[in-house]
Amino acid sequence: MTKISKTNAARLLDKAGVAYELIPYTVDEDNLAVDHVAHELGENIEQVFKTLVLRGDRTGNIVCVVPGHTEVNLKAAAKLSGNKSVEMIAMKELLPTTGYIRGGCSPIGMKKPFPTYIHNTCMDFPHIYVSAGVRGLQIKIAPGDLVAYVHAVMGDIAQPM
C-alpha cells in the first residue's frame, strides 16, 4: 500500500475539520479528460466534477465546478456571477492564476479565493469528486461540505457537451 501525500487542498480541509477522502487514480498524460478519471475511479462521470477558471467582464476571475459529462454554459455562468459575459482563461494563465495545472485544478486552495459556482446537480449525490490539486488524486467529499467550504453559489451552469 503506497502512502498518499497530502496536497495543499487536503491540508486546508483538515485544518477546517471537513471530512473527505483522498482517492488516487492512474494518470494518462495523453488523456487528461474527466471521462478517463471517472473510469479509473470506477464512478459515474456525473459525480466527477471538473474545475474551470473563467474571467468575467465585471468581476474578474471566477471558478465553475461542473459535472464531467458537461461543459460550462457561459451565458448561465455570466448571469449567475453578475457578469455580462465570461470566457475561459487561457491555459498559460492557469498555473500563475491558481497555482494548479490542467488536470489538477482544485476548487480548494487556489492562490487566492475566487467567487465559486457549482452546478446544482452536485446535491443529487452523497459524495462527489473534485481534483485534490495534482494529477492522479481526487478528493471524495460530501457536496454540501464543499459548497460550504468554498462559499460556493449553486446554479444551473452546465450544458451537455
What is the reported pLDDT for 29?
Answer: 85
Domain boundaries of the chain, sorted by first residue: 19-160
What is the reported pLDDT for 28?
Answer: 87
What is the reported pLDDT for 93?
Answer: 97
Amino acid identity of 142? A
State in words which class domain 19-160 has. Answer: alpha beta
What is the reported pLDDT for 137?
Answer: 96
pTM of the predicted model as reported, rounded to 2 decimal places: 0.96
CB 110 within 8 A of CB 116: no
Phi-psi domain of 82 (left: phi exceeds 0; alpha: psi -120 through 50; beta: other): left
What is the reported pLDDT for 58?
Answer: 97
Average pLDDT by consecutive 10-residue portion of the chain (161 residues)? 80 97 92 91 96 98 98 98 98 97 96 97 98 96 98 97 89
* C-beta neighbour count of 127 within 10 angstroms: 17
Residue 112 dihedral angles phi and psi, to the nearest 5°: -145, 155
Cα–Cα distance measured from residue 14 to residue 7, given in angstroms and rounded to the nearest whole number: 11
